[in-house]
Amino acid sequence: MILRIDNLVKHYGAVRAVDGLSLEIGEGEVLGLVGESGSGKSTVGKCVLRLTEPTAGTIELNGRDITHLSRRAMRPLRRDVHMVFQDPYSSLNPRFTIERIIGEPLLRHKVADRRETSRRVAEMLEKVGLRQEMRSRFPHELSGGQRQRVGLARALILEPKLVVADEPVSALDVSVQASVLNLITDLQRDMGFSCLFITHDLSVVEFLADRIAVMYLGKLVESGPTKEIFARPRHPYTQALLSAAPVADPVRQRQRRRIVLGGDVPSPVDPPAGCRFHTRCPLAYDECRTVEPALKDPRGNGHPAACHLVTADRVPDAAATR
């Protein structure tokens, strides 16, 4: 396992952003971590990179427990895990040239001298599909798609084992998004890194994730192989999420059964007792309001869900209630 997260908890004061989450990412695997605003998905990414201190739980990177490593002890491990952000503009230093931005990790970790750095920057530019003359440009001179390519080049120049990508294509127009998604697919295949891909967009993870994990209010509600999740979603929340994302086909879209969830996402300061989804779940019954469902995989096919209604021979159908 490249990444193993066990019972991760992160509270910001009273806000219970992540509240006991476990997941694993294998070598060369792309895991799509999906959830809506406030689900805690970005906090998971920040904990993995130790950009924020976990409240409890453990994070193992490549078999090594990094949860409580000091800054200094963490430093050499930073070569193995890199981050790609949503907004490449605010994550690229506006006063640095593209060459300096991409080459900076090499110099910081003292793994290459200036000449070697320059050579490897040229190589990365080529890999991410940017022309060599871009190296002397500044971030503001680049388009959104080009900036995201620079962000990828910087994240990958140290050939990390794990890339944490937080909504890397959400701010891009469809046509630009398509080329960046193709690029990520190619780079992942060629370089073989594992990836924690955090997004709200189901169609994006369907395109590039091997496995999907769905979060709701700081908890994992379901995970499994991408095809399985899309074909046979088990948790009512996953079912609602899939049914709410409109498909770009008016004939199909207008015939689809939609599960419209009532109400709003409850506050992570005071999450509901029992199942956290029960306030919006069309199938909720007494037990859901008091007993928190454990994540269980009744068929043992790597597709666990945290719902009282999921059993070995039965899967709830949130659409059937209306």
Partner 1 sequence: MSLLEITDLSVGFATEDGLVQAVRDISLTLDEGEILALCGESGCGKSVTAMSVPRLLPPDTTRLSGSVTLDGRELTTLPEAEMRRVRGKSVSVVFQEPMTSLNPSFTVGYQITEVLRRHESLSRQAAGRRAVELLELVGIPAPQRRMKEYPHQLSGGMRQRVMIAIAVACEPRVLIADEPTTALDVTIQAGVLDVFRDLRDRLGTAIILITHDLGVVADIADRAVVMYAGRAVEQAPVTELFAHPRHPYTLGLMKALPSAAVNGRLAEIPGMVPSPLSDPDECAFHDRCPRVQADCRLSRPPLVRQGEDHLAACFHPGGQS
Q: Tell me which residues touch partner 1 (CB under 8 A).
A: 36-37, 143, 173-175, 177-179, 181-182, 185, 200-204, 206-208, 240-241, 244-251, 253-254, 258, 260-261, 263-265
Q: Min. distance of Cβ 45 from partner 1 in angstroms?
A: 18
Q: Min. distance of Cβ 20 from partner 1 in angstroms?
A: 22
CA distances from 49 to 44, 165, 225, 304 (A): 9, 11, 24, 26
**119 or 258: whose CB is closer to partner 1?**
258
For strands 194-199 and 15-25, give the pairing. Answer: unpaired
**7 or 185: whose CB is closer to partner 1?**
185
**55 or 243: whose CB is closer to partner 1?**
243
Contact (Cβ atoms closer than 8 angstroms) between residue 82 and residue 163: yes
**44 or 81: whose CB is closer to partner 1?**
44
Q: Where are the alpha helices (DSSP H) in 75-201?
A: 88-91, 98-108, 114-127, 144-156, 174-191
Distance CA 227, CA 209 (A): 10
Q: Min. distance of Cβ 19 from partner 1 in angstroms?
A: 19
Q: Min. distance of Cβ 145 from partner 1 in angstroms?
A: 9
Handedness of CA 178, 183, 184, 188 (dihedral sign): positive
Q: Min. distance of Cβ 246 from partner 1 in angstroms?
A: 3
Distance CA 157, CA 288 (A): 48
**3 or 17: whose CB is closer to partner 1?**
17
Contact (Cβ atoms closer than 8 angstroms) between residue 69 and residue 54: no
